[in-house]
A and B are shown apart, each in its own frame.
Chain A
Amino acid sequence: MEFFSHLLLAFQVAFEPLNLLLCLIGVFIGTLVGVLPGLGPTATISLLLPITFKMGPVQAIILLAGISYGAFYGGSTTSILINIPGEAASVVTCIDGYQMARKGRAGPALGMSAIGSFIGGTFALVMLMFLAPPIAGAALQFGPPEFVALAFLGLTLVTYLSSGSMVKALMMAAVGLLLGYIGADIVTGKERFTLGITKLIGGLDLVPVVMGLFGISEVLLNIEKSSAAREVFQTNIKEVLPTRRDWRLSMGAISRGSVLGFFLGVIPGGGALIASFASYALEKRIAKDPSQFGKGDIRGVAGPETANNAGAGGAFIPLLSIGIPCNVLMAVLLGGFMIHGVIPGPRLMEEHPQLFWGVVGSMYIGNAMLLILNLPLIGLWVRILKVPYSLLFPLIFLFCLIGAYTLGNNTQDVYLMILFGVIGYLMKKFQYEPAPLILALVLGPTLESGFRQSLILSNGSFLIFLSRPISAVLVCIAFFLLVSPIVLRVWGKKRPGLLVRGDEDI
């Protein structure tokens, strides 16, 4: 019965005309940035945050959430039509999606991708409605040591699952934590690491840092390359509905993608990217004829596209029910909540039921809007793809500049964003990933306050993290993940072929 009252509240809030409009704008912008290579949802949410300042928290989060899940719908379009993923979670769709386009089947590939995305996204939402309340209830029992252990595990998983060197990912997490300590101390009020800059007393703002690391640096990396025109595949894409055979092949992939994607989205460090890769690997492994993968097999599109949307939905659970973002996109969204004075976590459902259930309701509607919008608008996205990057990047620069300026109506945030743009550019050149840095920057204050409270509770004994069952389990998992690559490396030298991450990658 409670479930239906929640559902009713969800749709009451979501169907308010303004919320419907913002949901539509959010998913449209999300699809647009998903379609455009070089501007992901993380940077977009950051640079649109100032626009939400005048809105209420419900409206702002509906808009921002729409951008975050809308981007995963749009990302597949570029993967299929030009073999360039619009965002990272669509990388794997390039493999079979582009091959389908080359065979004149771009329409069914795009159609199945949209349908799979809808099913995956909706499945994740149903699970979110069922699982978030009990998880939030359990999280109410958490004390400071448990939150420290959870944040520690989240950071460890992000570094463990990073694509490059784990040591470098850990270094970036450490840098993010250190940057989080800049500003006045939460207990004594003492200024720390501010270099005498007044602006830094309140701490380093998340938004200019994200805009710099994900927006400006990405444009700098793109403009330094020679300007080659993108070639959009010329094919008939009027017929987007898959055939009966496509349906028969894809239903299993969509079902497995929904479940796998959702659970990989929920774990800290997971999310849409890992979900899409895992789904592709699973489909290839269980296929009777895996040799068809890579040659335009529709299962290679349906599975990953379903999984990345289910993963994107699943990632909302730790954020909304525990207050811990499990990936960088959720970390930026957490920033959006905080700017509007809302702290996500176990009490969110009690203190802001309109916000929690309203956002969930809008996500149902947003998923339906995306399905309805995407298929007829494919022609528009193709035309947008033909706009040269030389005309797009000034717009991205401009939005970043205005976004940073309007955060506090001063140019200090703009300079900070430019500085982090250069840092982000250099980090990519030196093969350091920015995602662990952002997540650590967001989790840093939670980790520090919890850590200090825990030590005060235990009279300075670090054993408090191991003497409480939940924190002990979380800390042990984190240490296992930290140590396992080293063990595998040593073992791999004795038994060649065992290494899962090469020497360079550890």
Chain B
Amino acid sequence: MKKRDIVSSLFWIGFGTFFCVGAVQNGIMLSPGVPGPGCLAFIVGSILIGLSLFVLIPAVSKPGAAAEPSEAFFPHHRSLRKLSIALLALLGYAAAVEQLGFVITTLLFLLFVLAFIEPQKGKTILIFAGLTTLLAYALFSALKVELPKGFWGI
């Protein structure tokens, strides 16, 4: 955990610094006694940096902290592959849904996810993906939710 504390606290120091710099650029005080748009962001950004140091300093000051063995980041040897496929599917859905429309994108998304993340039998994939797409379309249409239509209007 010490190694992860070092990485995460450095990230939050950078994050806090970004907001502090931005706050100064936006103006901390509009006039004497009148706080500007950056006032609270500067205070909170500085607090975040200070708190991050509370995590960072004990982590680096302990001898051999960085080399300390910790729990594996991925619990399973296939974890990274599954996560990558899931993210690819989510991003793909977002990229395609306005062009292909709700029905086709949803069907392709479900087929892809069911086939590659936790692979199912071919028949299960087809039936589950098809039925889910149809039911989701019927449900959201009945609820008058505006779904993306794409080139084919569905």
Contact = CB atoms under 8 A, between A and B. Distances in A.
Interface string B58-100: 0000000000000001111011101100110111011101100
Contacts of A51: 143, 145
Interface stretch (A34-42, A448-456, A493-501): A448-456
Contact of A192 (B33, B38, B132): B38
A174 B48 CA distance: 6
Contact of B33 (A175, A425, A451, A460): A460
Given A224-B79, A225-B75, A398 B132 contact: yes
A53 B146 CA distance: 11
A142 interface: no
Contacts of A168: 55
Interface in A355-401: 389-391, 393-395, 397-398, 401
Contacts of B82: 223-224
B143 A54 contact: yes
A429 B48 contact: no
Interface stretch (A75-83, A116-124, A298-306, A411-419): A411-419
A319 B38 CA distance: 28
22 contacts: A54-B143, A167-B55, A171-B12, A177-B40, A181-B41, A185-B37, A188-B37, A192-B38, A193-B19, A223-B83, A224-B82, A226-B78, A394-B114, A398-B132, A406-B146, A409-B148, A411-B97, A418-B91, A455-B33, A455-B35, A456-B33, A460-B34
Binding site secondary structure of chain A: helix
Interface of A: 50-51, 53-54, 165, 167-168, 170-171, 174-175, 177-178, 181, 185, 187-188, 190, 192-193, 216, 219-220, 223-227, 389-391, 393-395, 397-398, 401-402, 405-406, 409, 411, 414-415, 418, 421-422, 425, 429-432, 447-448, 451-452, 455-456, 458-461
Contacts of A171: 12, 48, 51-52, 55
A75 to B, nearest CB: 24
Given A220-B86, A398-B136, A460-B32, A411 B94 contact: yes
Binding site secondary structure of chain B: helix
B132 A395 contact: yes
A448 B76 contact: no
Contacts of A397: 86, 89-90, 109, 113
A430 B148 CA distance: 37
Contacts of A187: 30, 37
